[in-house]
Amino acid sequence: MQTFVLIGRPNVGKSTLFNRLCGKRLALVADAPGTTRDYKERLIETPGGLHMRLLDAPGIDFQGDALLRAELLKVAEKALGMADGAVLVVDGAAGITPLDIELARWLRRFSKPVIVAATKGDLKAAKNAEEEASRLGFPSVVAISGREGGNINEL
């Protein structure tokens, strides 16, 4: 069984996607950035019938408090160390931010397969999300909606 970890800055929609992939709302979903400080782990069966282990890492804010950032990076590194690959989650409606670019650079150091999921695709502002997200330089990019389930099977 393979393990995948959801990585992304705070508030991009990781927990919503995690819950969508699990089919049940087990992870913490909140509006406040940085609410999730440890990773959640679930065994899931995807809509396509794949069994996998899914990890929801805490949102990483490279501009945040240095101690908190170090703590979050440690959790994310631990989760990534256990994973066969990562889903880099970006906010398709907000567009690519300098933090996303920094996170992509950090993620590349681990040499694990990465799929970029540009979520919030149900919002009008997300109409160029896939094109924007390709700027991060990973070949696999998919525009999804964690909230409404759009393109989840493709992901």
Which residue reads 């540009």 in tokens?
118
Binding residue for Mg ion (CB under 5 A) from 36, 87, 93, 133?
A: 36
3-state secondary structure the chain: CEEEEEECCCCCCHHHHHHHHHCCCCCCCCCCCCCCCCCEEEEEECCCCCEEEEEECCCCCCCCCHHHHHHHHHHHHHHHHCCCEEEEEEECCCCCCHHHHHHHHHHHCCCCCEEEEEECCCCHHHCCHHHHHHCCCCCEEEECCCCCCCCCCCC
- Residue 29 vs 115, nearer CB to ligand GDP: 29
Closest residue to bound ligand GDP by CB: 13
Residue 12: contacted member of ligand GDP, Mg ion, none (CB under 5 to 8 Å, by partner type) = ligand GDP
- Residue 42 vs 135, nearer CB to Mg ion: 42
CB of 119 to ligand GDP, least distance (A): 5
CB of 33 to ligand GDP, least distance (A): 6
Residues in the site for ligand GDP, rule: CB under 6 A?
8, 10-16, 29-31, 36, 59, 119-120, 122-123, 145-147
Binding residue for Mg ion (CB under 5 A) from 4, 7, 12, 15?
A: 15
CB of 149 to Mg ion, least distance (A): 18
**What CA–CA distance (Å, rounded) separates 96 from 12?**
11
**Could you tell me the two tokens for 131?**
């094109």
- Residue 12 vs 54, nearer CB to ligand GDP: 12
The window from 6-14, 47-55, 90-98, 126-134 that contacts Mg ion (CB under 5 A) reads 6-14
